[in-house]
Amino acid sequence: MTDKILINRHSIQLLRILVSGIFLVAGANHLLNTEKTANRIEKASFKGIAHFFGEPEWLIALSGIVMLAAGFIFLIGYKTKWAAIILMMVLIPITLTVQVGQITTLGPLFKNIAILGGLSFFIMNDTDNLLK
């Protein structure tokens, strides 16, 4: 049984635009402030997660490029499901590395959890077809 749920198309567009903004800003920040971001990783309780995947500076630059590219694709509404999956794949290790286990980052931790919720909406719903 499928229930039909009516959603205002502008609310979907607004959610997509607002969620994409964090990735555009964060991606630019990763590229412009790589050393500062690397220092945050080195102070993190779970810095081993980042080190498992490689050199933090390289990972920061790569994640910055991916966040800018996928964030822009998400912003314009092209292949939103795939863009959201890519952004989620970047957000989860960042959240686990930098914010889990730090009492001072509870606000940013729950901000990232909320962003994961927004991305999940676009992964679980075919919004590309809903807006046509």
Q: What is the mean pLDDT of residues 4-19?
A: 89
Spatial distance between the Cα atoms of 70 and 84, rounded to a whole number of angstroms = 8
pLDDT at 130: 65
Residue 5 has pLDDT above 80, yes or no: no
The pLDDT tens digits for 57-110 are 899 999 999 999 999 999 999 999 999 999 999 999 888 888 777 666 677 888
Burial label, 78 (beta-carbon count in 10 A; 0-12, 13-18, 19+): exposed
Q: What pLDDT shows up at residue 27?
A: 96
103 DSSP 8-state letter: G
Calpha distance 66→30 (Å, rounded): 10
**What integer pLDDT is reported at residue 37 of this predicted model?**
87
The residue behind tokens 């995947």 is 53
Tell me if 68 sits within 8 A of 27, measured CB to CB: yes
What stretches of the chain show up as alpha helix (H) in DSSP? 9-32, 34-43, 47-53, 56-76, 80-94, 106-124, 127-130
What is the tens place of the pLDDT at every residue in 13-51?
999 999 999 999 999 999 998 899 888 888 887 888 888
Residues 110, 70, 86, 48: is their CA dihedral positive or negative? negative
**Length in residues, the chain:** 132
State yes or no: pLDDT of 1 exceeds 60: no
